[in-house]
Amino acid sequence: MPLMWIQLDDDRTTACRVMELHKTARTRRESRDVARDEVPGRGRTPAVSPSSSASPTAARSG
């Protein structure tokens, strides 16, 4: 599935924080949730959560 560009309305401080998190391969949960909610409104259905892992070891508990 192709990537979809989602632009969020945030203040400059939040935008800088999100970029810093992105550079360290982390996400801001609130921004991720807003972007995820926007996708169905554009006629797409995500196949899998972007935060989930396809690794079989990720499914193991403890």
**What is the C-alpha to C-alpha distance for residues 37 and 28, in angstroms, rounded to an integer?**
14
**What is the C-alpha to C-alpha distance for residues 52 and 58, in angstroms, rounded to an integer?**
8
pLDDT at 58 over 70: no
**H helical segments located in 1-62:** 12-23, 29-41
Q: What is the pLDDT of residues 7-56, one digit of tens each?
A: 888 899 988 998 999 899 998 888 888 888 888 888 877 666 655 544 44
**What is the C-alpha to C-alpha distance for residues 41 and 32, in angstroms, rounded to an integer?**
15
Given a contact cutoff of 8 angstroms between Cβ atoms, the answer to whether 35 and 8 are in contact is yes
pLDDT of residue 8: 83
